[in-house]
Amino acid sequence: MDIQYVRLEEKLPPREYKSSLESTWCPGCGDFGVVTALTRAFSDEKLDPTALSLVSGIGCSSRLPLWMNAFGLHSCHGRAVPAAVGARLAKPEVPVIVTAGDGDLFSIGMEHFPHAARRNFDMVVISMDNRMYALTKNQVSPTSRTGYKGSLTPYGNLDNPFNVINFAIASGATFVAQTYAGNPKHMTEIIEAAIEHKGFAFVNILSPCPTYNKLDTFKFYKGRLVDINKELGHDPSDKQKAMELAEHDYDADYNPDAKVPIGIFYKTEEIPTFEEKVEALKEKYKPENPETVWDDILSNYKV
């Protein structure tokens, strides 16, 4: 069964996807750019705001549903993905977008991500990656660079940064991309491609935190980004090449001449979604007489 999202006949302007609440993010936060890209993408895709679910966890990025005109669920820390899975199964015709942070998804929420990816739920998971914990005032996250000095690591982070792109591909995500909060046009294109994709789509957005992270700044990324699709001619169907490109994701931390890749790393729609499998199962075992099915079941338990 090809499940279609609810769409409007005509586009709404991007502002119609914003709520009346004022954002409490710090001035200059990269997440403002994410909101801009999301509202543009929703407008271009003609999504109905009354049939759109935004699910988040806990963190600066996870407050995003508050600023949007849609059905928003501000869930528990690290639990955005399973909450979104429930929404997908309950209303498969409604698009579900997860907006969470690098810590929320890949620290406390790590155990949920690979299982949702391998089952290929038709949903979009966006990581607003500032490479540290901002809401709790500057602790290292799984994506923090080696040597990063956070509030609990005054001598520098001893761990290597977690490669979320390779992890997403290895977990079975059927769409994996990376973009940058300082480039709303590229962000919008990537988010639209993720929405249009049939299957589990993961988008990592490099979103600088100007308040605490003084290393991974807008200035740091300026001139370092390379579009792997337009500039390198990368074919997203090439899974092995996608893994190789992702290996260079953090070279810029140590090599001032290295580039940071953005674009679609991997994409395939050859794998059926979990929702399609459920519908096929229902069709295969559909009872001959639906009106009497419960009577037939209960008859087996009569004393």
Residue-wise pLDDT for 195-217, tens only, equals: 999 999 999 999 999 999 999 99
Residue 294 lies in a domain: no
Q: How far apart are CA 206 and CA 195, in angstroms?
A: 19
Longest dimension (CA), the chain: 78
Q: Which helix (H) or strand (E) holds 195?
A: helix 184-196
SS3 137: coil
Residue-wise pLDDT for 126-169, tens only, equals: 999 999 999 999 999 999 999 999 999 999 999 999 999 999 99
Residue 234 lies in a domain: yes
Residues 6 or more apart whose CB falls under 8 angstroms from that of 169 comprise: 176, 239, 242, 243, 246, 265, 266
Place of tokens 């279609």: 4
Q: How far apart are CA 23 and CA 259, in angstroms?
A: 32
Number of domains in the chain: 1
Residues in the chain: 303
Residue 145 lies in a domain: yes
- Gyration radius from the chain CA atoms: 21
Beta bridge partners of 150: 153
The CATH number covering residue 157 comes to: 3.40.50.970
Mean pLDDT by groups of 10 residues along the chain of 303 residues: 72 95 92 96 95 93 91 90 94 93 92 96 97 94 93 94 95 98 97 97 97 94 94 96 82 71 96 92 81 74 62
Residue 299 lies in a domain: no
Beta bridge partners of 179: 205
Domain that holds residue 98: 23-272
Residue 125 lies in a domain: yes
Question: Tokens in use for 226?
Answer: 């390379």
